[in-house]
Each structure stands twice: as C-alpha cells, then as structure tokens.
Structure 1
C-alpha cells in the first residue's frame, strides 16, 4: 500500500512510523522542515493540563499514550541515538477551583491523584513560591522533550527503506477522480498514492476546504518562555492559574502558555512575554535571577472540545484525517497514530474509533 502523509509534525511523523513498521510504502510531505511547527513549540507534558475537564474520548487516547511513551522513547533512542527524554516527574496542581471534580475523576478512572499538604509540597519542590493554599499531585506524569522527539522520529524514518521524506514541499490541493482521491498536487508536481492522510495540524482545515468540506480546525496561538537553571532546580511539573513550569533534565525550565486567536500569526509579543514572566516569578521566584534563553509562539490545531479527527473522510474515498488535537497533540499522538494505522490497514482498532470519526463532524 502506498500512503501519502501531508504534515510532518509529531502526528504525521508518528503516523508514518506506525504505517511503515506495518509494511506500507510511505511518503511524508511537509511545507517546511519536519517537526518545526506546533510540535516544536509545545511544552511536551504527557498529560492534558486538566484531564478531568475533557471528554472520555480524550481520556482514552491520553491513557493509552501515557503507558506507551516510555517504551517509545527507549526504542527511538536505540534506533537513532537521539534521546526524546521521556522524563517522569509527577505534576502538582495548585489552588484549583475544581479540585473536587479532579479527585472524583481520578477515583473513577483509577489515576494516582491525591491531595498533598502544602508543607509537603514545599519540601518536595523547594523553589515553589509562597501564597498557595492547596495542592493535588499525580505521580508518574512525564514530559517529553518534543523537539528531540520529532528529530528522533525523523531520523528513524530516514533509516527505513520504505519511507521517503519530502520537506519544503507544499501541498496545494488534491488530485481527484470523481469521489476518489488519487494523490496531491505540490509545488514539485503531482504525487500519487493509494491513500492520502491529512495530518497538517492547524493548516488541515484550509487544505480540506479545497474539496468543499468544512473541517472545524483553526490555529490557536500559544507563547512560551524558557529559562536555564541548575539541572536539579525543579523536581516536578507545577501548574497554577492556568500556567505551568516544566523541568527538562538539563535544567531548562519551560513556562507557558498563552491562548490567543490571532489567525496564522506566530509573532511573539512583548505583552505575552511580560505576562509569562510574571507567572514564572510567582510560581518560582528564583527564576527572576535565572537566564531567560528563549521566547517563541506556535499554532495549536484548535478543535471542538479538543477531540481530534481520526479516520476516513466520508464521501471521499482514499482520504483520511489525523488532526485537530488542539492542546494535546504530543500526549495523544501515540494512540492517535496507532488508531489511524489500525483503521487504514484494516486491523482491530486499539481503542473504539467512533468518537474521532470525521463522519457527521464535517461541514
């Protein structure tokens, strides 16, 4: 089977990896460099920020992926020499308005979430700022170093004889024969395949519009800042008032993020920088003396309720979607891409595909 994948972010790369491992002949296309858009810009927490606020559809993908990530990281490191750094730290939520709902969700789902006394939190996370009254903690939550994850996936694909990678190759439209998609039209000419998978993140809706279909996926801008501290400065992820701090193993601390509806504009702003710095210094006052090494923005693929579109496009044979993961693309990627591969190859799906089916959800 020849498969064209449009979009080289974490979702496109991992979809290609899953399909190629199953023996498909895969061609992955990206309008720029693979992994340089939303997948590069995110924080990489291997959990939704507030998992209890999502539907069971998001929860199902998240739980499967969380269990899968450690093995994926090890496998990619062994294959490529690039370590995605799946770093298990746990996560503290501070002063939640809906703490009772969170704990009820955890009891229902069997997740290790529990209240922690603030003196214990300060003992476990010494740089945490004062003034917080309550905390809950989930053990086992990891973060992945997302730029390294996409680099590792790209390298793994380059090593596979049944995969071709075409970067800086923008898809302009689809090649149709009646109700069937035969391939895509690019700046470099037409490319044909048995199946085409659209995994272009925030740009997926624009591409599907060329077929007269309305895909409710839109860009939602998010800005982040990055500090450099000692490697043991922050031992866990901390989250308060909608902002989080994520520790990397080498002492880099990511703080994010904004939620902005600004079209496809990715320009970092001074206003967001000051807001993020204020959040960072409130959470971890010592960051005021740390080196600020980065500030950037990315475009999340916003979708209704954050439920991705995974499966065949109704009425258009040969076209599939794996997009619209909104704020959770990295945490949902393993399950989403496994599910896509299962459906496309006619295998037993790893989870119930119905909640993600495009049928009935497109305009």
Structure 2
C-alpha cells in the first residue's frame, strides 16, 4: 500500500511542471518514473512566451503572488545550474517589462508598493529612448526592472537532459496514461498503453489534460484547455532591449533577436489549430507595438493549450479520498513562472519538510467536486 514514506513516484505529464517535479523528487532520492504521452516539453511549456512574471501580477491574489515571487528569485540559479549540468542554456534573460496605457495603473502601483516590487511610472520620452523601436501613440507607461524571460523550449530540453543523467530516473515518452491502478481506495500506479506502472505515489501534472484523467476517479477538477496562439519574428540581436505589453498583447525579445508576440485567449476545447484570424490579429498588435516588425521575417505561428483554472490558482497536494495520488496542475497562464515554487512545494509536502510557503491555498481538498 502506498504510504507517505514511499520511495517511488510516477509522474504523469512531461511539461515544465512534470519535468521539474521529477527533478526535485529525484534529487531528494526518490525513484522517479516520468510518463509522457508524446515528447517531453512539447505542449503548453513549449508554446508559451516564457515571461518570468504573470502578465498583470496585481490582478492575481496572494496565492499566485507567493509562488511567483519565490520562482522569480530562484530562476537565475536554476538556469545556471541546468547550464552547468547539461550544457543547455535556458537563457534566463533579464530585460525588464514596460506596461503601456494601463486602465488599472493605480492598482498596479499600489500592489507594487504593498509587495515591495520595483514598479514605477516612466515618462514616455524616456520609454522611447530606452526602447527605440516602440511605436507612437502610447501615452503612459510603468516599468518593472528585473523581470526576465526564459527560453522555454530550451528550459524543458535542459530539464529532460538533467533527468536522463540521474540513475534513479526512468523516462517513458510516447506512452499514454489510460487510467489509474487502484485497490481499496488507494492509487497504486497508472495504466498505460504499454502496461502498468506501479509506484508508491502518483503525481498528476498533465496540464490541460489533468481533468480528463482525474475524472476517471469520479472527481471533477476545474481545469480546462484555453487556447493561445503566438507568432515569432527574426530581427537583429539588439532590436528590442526590453519586453513591452499593451492592450493584452506583448513582445518578448530573445538574446539572438527572435521576437515573440502573443497571445490569444480562446475557449476551443482541445483544438490546437492555428487560425488565419488569430495570425492577422497578432500581426496587427505586433506592428502597433513595434512598427519595424512589418519589415521583419515572420518565422513561426503556433498554438498551445493552457490549463485554465479558477483565479489561476494551481492544485498542489494530495487528492482526498485517493490515497497515493497527488496533483501539480492548473497553473493557467503562469505555468513557467510558477513552476520552480510549485515543484519545490510539492516536494516539501511529499517528503514531510517545512514548506517554502503556506500550502493551504493550493490544496485540492475542498476544491474538487
């Protein structure tokens, strides 16, 4: 029977949350089997922009803020350690972030004062001096220094490589989980299309697909797919020195001159098809923010599915009535920024350590139907 001192864990889902959960638990000595129905890091973790901040952090409650602040402080050392261990650089790129013409600027500044974050108004002539390609027509700006972005496809590649170097980790890709192995109300493992995988504990970190799996236990997890489309341009390496955000759309510079522009918010089930309407809308936003992008090479357009959840608060902890089953899912738009804290918190709870932050807001108990 699984117990809280079990030494083996099966993790369902190979995105950033599953990969980092596996790495945290494996480094703490557990025997880890990571199961992914496709290739690791190819769903929402690959499709997102990688801003190491919620887009509008003041619009979230304290539960999201606590995870975000811990993760933001941790990301630089995570990037350095992964580069040292694997030779793959996740490129934690600190640029700062400008918000333009916000309707709730006063709320943003009040939040920053309350939380001690370096967010302040900036005169528009100073913004144009700092970000020369910014388009005309914007009237107000606030800026937060220290905000980074991470090159998320490289982050997941680095996490995968770090796991493969550990002797107590097995990775099963292209292995779909069909259900749970149960006995006497306990979860003993998972049923896959390649047979049973037994473990003392199971962690469900399957993003937008987590609700479908948990539904097999008669539990309703309020996590649903929310489609987001992005486009990618290639510019000179020094084209855009900072991230900019206006009217719900953002531009993110990578170190090599790639510029991501996103994103849409669509409730379209599990459909990930990029659409012409979204492409034209994203291009219009891109050219308004950065008019010179009209002459740049458009090198990509894609869609991914975020795991939408009430108020964006993830589910982290044991599932009541299903001993042995744990959740780390439902991070909505903030999976990448919240991942380090979420996975450390999960490990703290599973290993009986003092948790890094109060775990109560994320507990599945009372939040599942």
Q: What TM-score, normalized by structure 2, do the two folds share?
A: 0.98
2:322 and 2:272 mapped to 1: Cα distance?
32
Matches within 5 A, 1:231-242: 231-242=237-248
1:252 and 1:37 mapped to 2: Cα distance?
20
The partner residue of 1:315 within 312, 321, 325 is 321
The partner residue of 1:332 within 332, 335, 338 is 338
1:316 and 1:211 mapped to 2: Cα distance?
8
Could you report, residue by residue, the CA deviation over 1:210-266 in whole angstroms, capped at 9, with x for unpaired residues? 000000000000000000000000000000000000000000000000000000000
Partner of 1:97: 103
Instruction: Quote the offset at 1:178 in angstroms.
Output: 1.6
1:183 and 1:161 mapped to 2: Cα distance?
21
Partner of 2:179: 173
1:344 and 1:200 mapped to 2: Cα distance?
18
Partner of 2:312: 306
Partner of 1:133: 139
- Consecutive unaligned residues of structure 2, counting only runs of 5 or more, are 1-6
1:175 and 1:27 mapped to 2: Cα distance?
15
Q: Does residue 274 of the first structure (1) align with residue 280 of the second (2)? A: yes
Q: Classify the secondary structure of the residue corresponding to 2:270.
A: coil
1:86 and 1:250 mapped to 2: Cα distance?
13
Q: Does residue 19 of the first structure (1) align with residue 57 of the second (2)? A: no
Q: Classify the secondary structure of the residue corresponding to 1:322.
A: strand
2:295 and 2:331 mapped to 1: Cα distance?
36
Q: Does residue 213 of the first structure (1) align with residue 181 of the second (2)? A: no
Q: Does residue 80 of the first structure (1) align with residue 86 of the second (2)? A: yes
Residues paired across the two proteins, number = 363
The partner residue of 1:46 within 44, 52, 56 is 52
Instruction: Quote the offset at 1:41 in angstroms.
Output: 0.1
Instruction: Quote the offset at 1:142 in angstroms.
Output: 0.0
Q: Classify the secondary structure of the residue corresponding to 1:176.
A: strand
Q: Classify the secondary structure of the residue corresponding to 1:223.
A: strand
1:242 and 1:132 mapped to 2: Cα distance?
14
Q: Classify the secondary structure of the residue corresponding to 1:210.
A: helix
Instruction: Quote the offset at 1:179 in angstroms.
Output: 1.1
Q: Classify the secondary structure of the residue corresponding to 2:9.
A: strand
Could you report, residue by residue, the CA deviation over 1:173-232 in whole angstroms, capped at 9, with x for unpaired residues? 001002100000000001100000000000000000000000000000000000000000
Q: What TM-score, normalized by structure 1, do the two folds share?
A: 1.00
Partner of 1:229: 235
Q: Classify the secondary structure of the residue corresponding to 2:217.
A: coil
2:177 and 2:104 mapped to 1: Cα distance?
44
Instruction: Quote the offset at 1:343 in angstroms.
Output: 0.4
Partner of 1:286: 292
1:137 and 1:107 mapped to 2: Cα distance?
13
1:168 and 1:346 mapped to 2: Cα distance?
32
Matches within 5 A, 1:179-194: 179-194=185-200
1:129 and 1:232 mapped to 2: Cα distance?
17
1:87 and 1:149 mapped to 2: Cα distance?
12
The partner residue of 2:62 within 56, 60, 64 is 56
Q: Does residue 245 of the first structure (1) align with residue 251 of the second (2)? A: yes
2:45 and 2:29 mapped to 1: Cα distance?
26
1:29 and 1:319 mapped to 2: Cα distance?
15
Matches within 5 A, 1:155-174: 155-174=161-180
